[in-house]
Amino acid sequence: MIILMIVIPNTVLMASSDGAQITKLEKGLMFWSLVTFLIVFVILSKTAWKPLIEGLQNRENTIRNNIEDAEKKQNEAAEKLKQYEEKLAKAEDEVKEIIDSARANAEQIKKDTIAEANKECESIRARAENDIKLAKQQAVEEVFKTAADISIAISTKLIKETLDDKKQAKIIEDTLKQFEDLKTLN
């Protein structure tokens, strides 16, 4: 490349008599072009190359650091995503456990309530049956007592009087009527 930079500007086109062009190299021009190039090259290498190379190295380091930071952030984001997914899975499991526990508790409460209601029904029924038995027993005792009172009343009246058939029927009728009156009062 350096040779082309020196040779091309120092080439002079010459025309020949038959119309063809011939190139001729000028050695003096080529020498001074080479000297100028070397001087510019040395000046640039002393002043411009170091800052240029440092700038390129700084840019390369910055790009490399940016890539490393991006990779670190990507890895961190992937790790956080993994942690989030694990927490989400744990939360879903906890929700399922809570729902299952609530269902089990509700089912147990339902069973307990039904058992308690059945127990209360049995207790009420037993009390009612007991009350019915007592009422029946009292009614039977009252009937026997009343029947005994009637029998005693009839016997007493029969003994006091000698009765004929009409009187006896009348006493029985009156006594039965008293018995019915007692019955309606109770």
Q: Is the pTM of this model over 0.85?
A: no
Q: Alpha-carbon distance 71 to 76, whole Å?
A: 9
pLDDT of residue 34: 80
pLDDT of residue 45: 79
pLDDT of residue 9: 55
pLDDT of residue 104: 93
pLDDT of residue 20: 47
> Over the chain (186 residues), what is each successive 10-residue block's mean pLDDT?
55 46 62 82 80 88 95 95 94 94 93 93 92 87 77 71 68 76 62
Strand partners, 15: 21
